[in-house]
């Protein structure tokens, strides 16, 4: 058997195992989310409420439109100062739009040339404006993680993604759009009035944000062309991969145990985001009346509240569909273009960390991505943590990701 045949056999085996895991379910669920907060949050906008923004939008990405001091309730504990910005970026249609982000500054004095930047890509929080991280809805685990980077002397630029706290619906798992949002937030932050920032930066993300970090890594140089930014690398943990290969089979027979409510949340956010980003695809044609009702709920409820509602109602993914997604012509190609993570074309080092006890993303599919990138000789450094779950990997990987970032930032 030749090398290419062997690799194809291994890949098919990984996909088969991953599909079995997805269909059977797991104790922790499979949602790309963080610790559950069952109460719908109350946002505070720091005097910059852009939820219904109707002002001018320059035809240039990364333009800083407004900056205000961030409400103290949304500060990182380790921050010396913090602001909230409104900036231009692209939406899922490729049109100019606006997004918001938080900028956190460390206590350490700024080095010559300014603070080097960590661009944070957050994980699943929800699609409603109430879920906006810069408006106060940030997970405690992530607060600890971001504090670590501040204590290392980095500034943090944390985008909310387009449609979250700004007009429209955030296109959940739309990798290229989110990558634009990340890059453009770093561009805009260069013009912050709060501190001088270095053009050197890395992207760091977890879960949904881990996927965003990977796609940002692939396109960062291209998307920042013509700016003074100096992209250096990426850190991705809890990385989802090849979700499109599973979503194409979602339908009336896509049975998930009711205790795996996280997966149900995840599917709803994908359906809602994909439907918004691809209006030419008739997603409604495969949804049942129950599915249409829950897709509307997904637009309004943050992760914890939607998870609780699904558990309380004992709803199952299969109830959302009248027909299988693969009855829509060309659906796999469309899903791949929407959320697929590229295997090739990376021009800077990538750190990927994954926990052996991770049941929140489909580990065999993540390993498939690792194998394919290694075979393609991409600059990937993979770290496997056998005793860490999805959340534990975030801070647990810092012992390895900290020297990685220090190295690529030199």
Domain extent listing, the chain: 3-37+243-338, 64-241+348-409
Q: At what angle do helices 3-24 and 363-375 cross, to 10 degrees?
A: 160
Global confidence as pTM: 0.91
- What pLDDT does residue 93 have? 95
SS3 state at 41: coil
Nearest Cα neighbor of 120 from 65, 82, 72, 64 is 82
97: which 2 tokens? 């739009």
Give the pLDDT score at 40: 80
Q: Specify the pLDDT at position 170.
A: 97
User: Could you tell me the fold of the domain covering 64-241+348-409?
Assistant: Rossmann fold (3.40.50)
Q: Mind listing the pLDDT tens digit of every residue in the chain (410 residues)? A: 444 543 454 444 444 444 433 333 333 333 344 556 667 889 999 999 999 999 999 999 999 999 999 999 999 999 999 999 999 999 999 999 999 999 999 999 999 999 999 999 999 999 999 999 999 978 899 999 999 999 999 999 999 999 999 999 999 999 999 999 999 999 999 999 998 999 999 999 999 999 999 999 999 999 999 999 999 999 999 999 999 999 999 999 987 766 567 778 989 999 999 999 999 999 999 999 999 999 999 999 999 999 999 999 999 999 999 999 999 999 999 999 999 999 999 999 999 999 999 888 889 999 999 999 999 999 999 999 999 999 999 999 999 999 999 999 99
Task: Give the strands of the sheet with 115-121, arranged side by side.
Answer: 64-69, 81-90, 96-105, 155-159, 115-121, 197-206, 230-237, 350-355, 380-385
By the 8 A CB rule, do 317 and 256 touch?
yes
pLDDT at 241: 96
How much is the pLDDT for 264? 87
Q: Where are the beta strands (DSSP E) in 291-336?
A: none
* Cα torsion angle, 168, 173, 179, 182, sign: positive
- DSSP, residue by residue, 65-116: EEEEEPPGGGS-TT-SEEEEEEEEEE-TTS-EEEEEEEEEE-SSPPPTT-EE
Q: Which two tokens stand for residue 266?
A: 């995840």
Q: CA–CA separation, 181 vs 212, rounded Å?
A: 10
């Amino acid at each position: 058997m030749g090398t290419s045949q062997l690799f194809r056999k291994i890949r098919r085996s990984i996909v088969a195992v991953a599909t079995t895991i997805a269909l059977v379910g797991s104790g922790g669920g499979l949602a790309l989310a963080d610790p559950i907060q069952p109460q719908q949050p109350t946002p505070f906008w720091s005097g910059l409420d852009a939820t219904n923004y109707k002002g001018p939008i320059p035809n240039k990405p990364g333009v800083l439109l407004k900056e205000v001091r961030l409400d103290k309730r949304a500060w990182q504990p380790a921050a010396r100062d913090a602001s909230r910005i409104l900036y231009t970026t692209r939406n899922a249609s490729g049109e100019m739009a606006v997004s918001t982000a938080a900028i956190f500054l460390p206590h350490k004095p700024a080095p010559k040339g300014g603070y080097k930047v960590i661009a944070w890509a957050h994980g699943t929080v929800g699609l409603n404006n109430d879920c906006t991280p810069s408006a106060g809805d940030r997970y405690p685990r992530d607060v600890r993680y971001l504090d670590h980077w501040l204590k290392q002397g980095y500034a943090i630029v944390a985008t909310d993604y387009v449609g979250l706290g700004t007009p429209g619906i955030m296109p959940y798992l739309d990798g290229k759009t989110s990558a634009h949002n990340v890059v453009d937030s770093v561009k805009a932050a260069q013009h912050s009035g709060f501190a001088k920032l270095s053009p050197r930066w890395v992207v760091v993300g977890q879960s949904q944000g881990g996927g965003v970090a990977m796609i940002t890594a692939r396109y960062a140089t291209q998307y920042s062309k013509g700016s003074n930014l100096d992209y250096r690398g990426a850190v991705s943990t809890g990385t989802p991969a090849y979700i499109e290969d599973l979503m194409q089979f979602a339908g009336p027979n896509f049975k998930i145990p009711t205790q795996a409510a996280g997966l149900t949340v995840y599917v709803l956010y994908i359906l809602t985001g994909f439907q918004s980003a691809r209006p030419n695809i008739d997603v409604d044609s495969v949804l049942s009346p129950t599915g249409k009702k829950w897709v509307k709920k997904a637009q309004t409820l943050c992760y914890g509240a939607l998870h609780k509602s699904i558990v309380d109602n004992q709803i199952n993914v299969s109830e959302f569909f009248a027909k299988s997604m693969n009855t829509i012509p060309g659906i796999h190609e469309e899903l791949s273009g929407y959320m697929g993570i590229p295997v090739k074309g990376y021009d800077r080092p990538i750190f990927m960390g994954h926990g052996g006890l991770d049941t929140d993303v489909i580990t065999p599919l993540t390993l498939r991505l690792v194998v394919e990138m290694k075979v393609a000789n991409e600059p990937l450094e993979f770290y496997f943590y056998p005793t860490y779950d999805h959340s534990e990997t975030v801070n647990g990987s810092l012992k390895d990701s900290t020297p990685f970032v220090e190295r690529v930032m030199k």
